[in-house]
Amino acid sequence: MSSPQGGFADLARTGGRGALVTVLRGQGAGGRLLVRADGSSEGDLGALRDAALRHADELMWVERSESREEGEALLFVDVTFPAPRLIVFGAVDFAAALVRLTRDIGWRPYVVDPRSRFATAERFPEAEEIVVAWPDEAFRRLGGIDRATPIAVLTHDPKLDDAALTIALRSEAAYVGAMGSRRAQAARRERLLAAGLTDADLERLAAPIGLDLGATSSEETALSILAEIVAVRHGRDGGRLGRAGGRIHEVGAG
């Protein structure tokens, strides 16, 4: 059996997800616990185990390493995770621009659309994978929707939009956004409520999708969408930095 450190190194090398919790101060200082995405673990921190599991489960999915106080103890939670993925539902022109930009920032874009004439490798050469299927089958092929996955629904077709959103809004998706005018959003809301979604489900929907950048082109619209997703990923509102308080950048501020 590998050590917690060795197991963590293996996860990092293979693009897995997990957290290594180290006791920096207090009883059991120097002890380590490896926690994987499926909840399995290696190592033993004694009375701190439950707290370590809780912090590891939170931080590996928000993809952030942090120190955490637990009484007299100080824990450091080091996380590793694969390159973020974005599921784009709807093989439309806006989607092509969004896929390109997503790849440019080092993420893994996936395109889903049951319409094979639109969902082609020629139109989406930067996509990690193109899945030609209805949402339920497509999400199964992609391994489900986890807590780190954002979903952008762009089709403008109520049949396709509603099918995708019904699944996405009931999942653990990190973000769910949808295209459409405010009038279209109101009609969609009524349809989704009639389909059994709750007000709480619909509160999770970012619609109209994107930040208010005044976008006019496909590329600018893609930038607006991805900017909102990145802001949500980091717990930010997406406003102008010149008007923001607190720390500006989490990394590289110096």
- In whole angstroms, what is the distance from residue 152 CA to residue 175 CA? 8
pLDDT greater than 60 at residue 253: no
Domains and CATH numbers, the chain: 4-80 (no CATH), 85-233 (3.40.50.720)
Q: Please give the structure tokens belonging to residue 12.
A: 């990092």
Cβ atoms 103, 222 nearer than 8 A: no
DSSP 48-74: GHHHHHHHHHHHHHHT--EEEEETTEE
pTM: 0.87
Percent above pLDDT 90 for the chain = 82
The confidence band for 245, taking pLDDT boundaries of 50, 70 and 90, is low
pLDDT greater than 90 at residue 16: yes
pLDDT greater than 50 at residue 251: no
Each residue's pLDDT tens digit, 101-154 = 999 999 999 999 999 999 999 999 999 999 999 999 999 999 999 999 999 999
Q: How high is the mean pLDDT of the chain?
A: 92
Element (H, E) at 86: strand 85-89
Q: Identify the weakest region by mean pLDDT among 67-71, 88-92, 179-183, 193-197.
A: 179-183
Angle 96-146-154 from CA coordinates, rounded to 5°? 25
Q: Return the pLDDT at 235.
A: 87
Q: Return the pLDDT at 61.
A: 94
Name, in order, each residue with C-beta under 8 angstroms of 107's C-beta and a sequence gap of 6 or more. Answer: 83, 84, 85, 86
Q: Return the pLDDT at 182.
A: 81
Cβ atoms 176, 168 nearer than 8 A: yes
